[in-house]
Structure 1
Amino acid sequence: MIRPSSNRSFRRSIALAALVVPALLLAGCDRNPLVVRRSSCPAVAVAAYVGDTTLFRPAAAGAVADAANMEAVATITNVRDECAETSDQFVSRITYDVIVRRTDAAQARQIMLPVFAAVVQAGNIVNAKQISQVAVNFAAGQERAVAQGTATAAVSRTAAAVPQAILDKINRKRRPGELDAATDPMADPEVRAALRAASFEVLLGFQLDDRALAYNIAK
């Protein structure tokens, strides 16, 4: 049983911890936690609907694409990137794995899969695109195989820079009582447009024809 005096000391300790812990957390932050800092290196991700592909037997090319005619299924996974800065560019070196499972493992085989890496600006503008072939090799009797692919993407430092006037708008100190003290700077269309224009990403995916893309969307 906890004695009353010990109980009071325990409550004081809890109260002190409640004050000290937030202070320690804030001490680890910058003085102004509202200042926006962004990375100019492009984000890297697998694009929607093209991160996997299903291969069907050639004889089924004109038939309905279904499980009975399925030959192999491939998936892009384990995407990794390293971003290096040069005097005028941000260069991303990307590696990823392609995992393939096949239905007929009787013979040794190689499957070639085209994979693209596209540099996208502002969410919908393709600035550059490269397509590489990833070779996946199967030994006789092997149902699952993995191959590694690589890609390199570069983004101009100038294009990825947010104008100083926009940064000043975002990071301006706001004092209580000012008309826009409670206004989110991201509500300003000019700010949103500038940040969007300076945002880049690298999207990976299998280079699919219309039929394969339609299959992915429908499934």
Structure 2
Amino acid sequence: MECRRVGVKAYGAVALAAVALAGCAGRGEITEGGITAVRSVCPTVAIPAGTGDVTLFDPPASRDASALDLTAFMTNVQSTCSDAGAEVTTTVTFDIEARRTRTDAARSVDLPYFITLVRGGSAVVAKRIGRVQLQFAAGADRARVSGQASTSVGRAAVTLPEDIRRQLTRRRKAGDEDAAIDPLSQPEIRQAVLRATFEALVGFQLTDEQLRYNATR
């Protein structure tokens, strides 16, 4: 599974986009009861906007072009999900590619990254911090390193209650009073789906100043 970037303010929309009806045969399949989709218990994997790259300066307080020290970005983000047991575990792998300005000597650079589990589009329920180490050879301006992170959530938390599932999967026929009503327009159903919807978000662990730089450059 390949991840995508999402805006921080778009978590709710992403969570709803992940909503699908359990027990159906195929995503987007047209059936007698309407259009069906498959809901997975595995979290959606994404990079929050503004956290997929980092820029270092020397001196750190300067933002002049002459002070640019190093730039790095996260790429090739992939995920695997193990959902066979009581815990649903998502493992995310990624590459970090970097380029530096001064190349006279060999250099080692540590960069922190995070993986966060978000519930219902906004509630952070778990977060882990890791580090990767870039190794620049003398005379080389580029380096690359791979990283990995994982997060888990209980199967019960990602499983829709039976009464909610029945309302979502109930066949509706043309002419029925509620045939044209979206079940997710009902607050109790919408909230139940949000509570059972999770995202695994990965990115660089940035300082407030680095976040502002990424947002305004």
Asked if these proteins are the same fold (TM beyond 0.5), I'd say yes
What secondary structure, in the 3-state scheme, does the structure 2 residue paired with 1:158 have? helix
The match for 2:100 is 102
What does residue 210 of structure 2 align with? Answer: 212
Q: Which residue of 2 aligns with 1:14?
A: none
Name the CA distance, whole Å, in 2 between partners of 1:34 and 1:166. 18
C-alpha contact (below 8 Å) 1:34/1:171 kept by paired residues: no
In the other structure, the counterpart of 1:88 is 86
- The TM-score with structure 2 as length reference comes to 0.82
* Count of residues paired in the alignment: 189
Structure 2 equivalent of residue 21 of structure 1: none
User: One-letter code of the match for 2:80?
Assistant: E
TM-superposed deviation, 1:97: 0.4
Q: Structure 1 residue 40: deviation in Å?
A: 0.6
Tell me, in whole angstroms, the C-alpha distance in 1 between the residues paired with 2:137 and 2:186.
58
The answer (yes or no) to whether the contact 2:110–2:132 under 8 Å persists in 1 is yes
Distance in 2 (CA, whole Å) between partners of 1:139 and 1:62 is: 26
Aligned partner of 2:71 in structure 1 is: 73
Q: CA deviation at 1:30?
A: 8.0
Question: In 2, Cα distance between the equivalents of 1:115 and 1:67?
Answer: 25
Paired residues of 1:36 and 1:170 also in contact (CA < 8 A): no
8 Å contact from structure 1 (residues 53, 212) kept in 2: yes
Contact 1:116 1:132 in 2 (8 A): yes
**Separation in structure 2 between the aligned mates of residue 40 and residue 194 of structure 1, nearest angstrom:** 14
State the shift of 1:163 in Å.
1.0
Which of the two has higher C-alpha Rg? Answer: 1
CA distance in 2, matches of 1:184, 1:128: 32
Q: What is the rounded CA distance, in whole Å, between the counterparts of 1:45 and 1:136 in structure 2?
A: 23
**TM-score after normalising by structure 1:** 0.81
In the alignment, which residue of structure 1 is the partner of 2:149?
151
Q: Which letter maps to 2:111?
A: L
Listed as ranges, the matches of 1:52-67 within 5 Å are 52-57=53-58, 60-63=59-62, 65-67=63-65
Q: Equivalents in 2 of 1:161, 1:80: separation in Å?
A: 24
Q: Measure how far apart 1:66 and its partner are.
A: 2.9
Q: Percent identity?
A: 39
Partner of 1:191: 189
The SS at the match of 1:105 is coil
Q: How does 1:1-219 map to 2 (within 5 A)?
A: 34-57=35-58, 60-63=59-62, 65-219=63-217
What is the Cα-based RMSD across aligned positions, in Å? Answer: 1.7
Deviations 1:28-48 (A, max 9, x none): x68556344201111111111
Q: Hey, which of these two has a bigger chunk of strand by percent?
A: 2
Answer yes or no: is the 8 Å Cα contact 1:40–1:160 preserved in 2: yes
- Mapped contact 2:54–2:204 kept (Cα < 8 A): yes
| Aligned-partner residue type, residue 61 of structure 1 | P
Distance 1:90 1:71 in 2: 40
Q: Is the contact made by 1:35 and 1:170 (CA closer than 8 Å) also made in structure 2?
A: no
Do the aligned residues in 1 keep the contact of 2:99 with 2:142 (CA within 8 Å)?
yes
SS of the equivalent of 1:37 reads coil
Q: CA deviation at 1:186?
A: 2.0
Unmatched 5+ stretches in structure 1: 1-25
d(CA) in 1 for partners of 2:168, 2:77:
32
